[in-house]
Amino acid sequence: MSKIKHPYKPNPLTFIFITLFFGGCAAILSKVASSNTQGLILNRFVEFSAINATIFYWCLTAAATIFVVIGLLGIYSALTSKNEIILMETGFSAPKSLIGNTIVAVHYSDITHLAPISVKGQRMLKIEHTNGNIAIQQSALPNKQAYDEVVNTITTKTQSFQG
């Protein structure tokens, strides 16, 4: 088996939607915070005065703005990333996370547990190895066939290296 390479990067549309949604939330919340004159009661349990409610709205605005920044970083990563999963005879290398360039090399003999996970149609393979964990997401690979090839190769090679 020679090296098999698959591009592995996030879908830019996902991060565009995240950025737009939280940008809208930040805009609305900042308008509410800047014009607030009333208190706030949350679930009939927590009561805020007008000043504390305004602070609460500004905190929500800040949180939404942080998600906008994360979305922008995700868009940048999706458009510029050259990350890939490389399957080799004795192991594989893959990015540690979708956003970032840290590459992790894992030998098949170091894998202690494989767990295929499916959440609302999103599939991923959680890999536990002696140096930590890594998850390979189907949505970051070019297509379903590439994901199936990666999962089948890692599963088969892991089983053959472990006995």
Q: Which of 162, 156, 163, 148 is nearest to 85 (CA)?
A: 148
Res. 52 pLDDT band, cuts 50 70 90: very high
Asked if residue 60 lies in contact with residue 22, where contact means CB atoms within 8 angstroms, the answer is: no
Average pLDDT over residues 142-154: 93
Q: Average model confidence (pLDDT) for the chain?
A: 92
Count up the domains in the chain and report the number: 2
Whether the pLDDT of residue 46 is over 70: the answer is: yes
DSSP state of 153: H
At which of 30, 58, 80 does a domain end?
80
Q: Give the Cα-Cα-Cα angle 145, 149, 153 (nearest 5 degrees).
A: 170
Average pLDDT over residues 80-84: 89
Q: Are residues 68 and 132 in the same domain?
A: no
Residue 104 β-bridge partners: 94
Asked if residue 68 lies in contact with residue 22, where contact means CB atoms within 8 angstroms, the answer is: yes
In angstroms, the CA 130 to CA 107 distance is 10
Give this prediction's pTM.
0.72
Determine the structural domain holding residue 45 and report its residue range: 12-80
Whether the pLDDT of residue 40 is over 70: the answer is: yes
Single-letter residue type at 126: K
Whether the pLDDT of residue 91 is over 70: the answer is: yes
Whether the pLDDT of residue 117 is over 80: the answer is: yes
Q: Return the pLDDT at 163.
A: 62
Q: Which of 29, 40, 33, 39 is nearest to 55 (CA)?
A: 33
Question: Considering the chain, what percentage of its residues have pLDDT values greater than 90?
Answer: 72
Q: Which of 118, 123, 119, 116 is nearest to 154 (CA)?
A: 116
Q: Are residues 120 and 157 in the same domain?
A: yes
Q: Return the pLDDT at 138.
A: 93
Whether the pLDDT of residue 148 is over 90: the answer is: yes
Q: Which of 154, 17, 146 is nearest to 93 (CA)?
A: 154
Phi/psi of residue 89, each to 5°?
-65, -40
Whether the pLDDT of residue 90 is over 70: the answer is: yes
Q: Are residues 90 and 74 in the same domain?
A: no
Instruction: Count CA within 13 A, CB hemisphere, residue 34.
Output: 7
Q: Are residues 111 and 157 in the same domain?
A: yes
CATH code of the domain containing 120: 2.30.29.30
Q: Are residues 72 and 98 in the same domain?
A: no
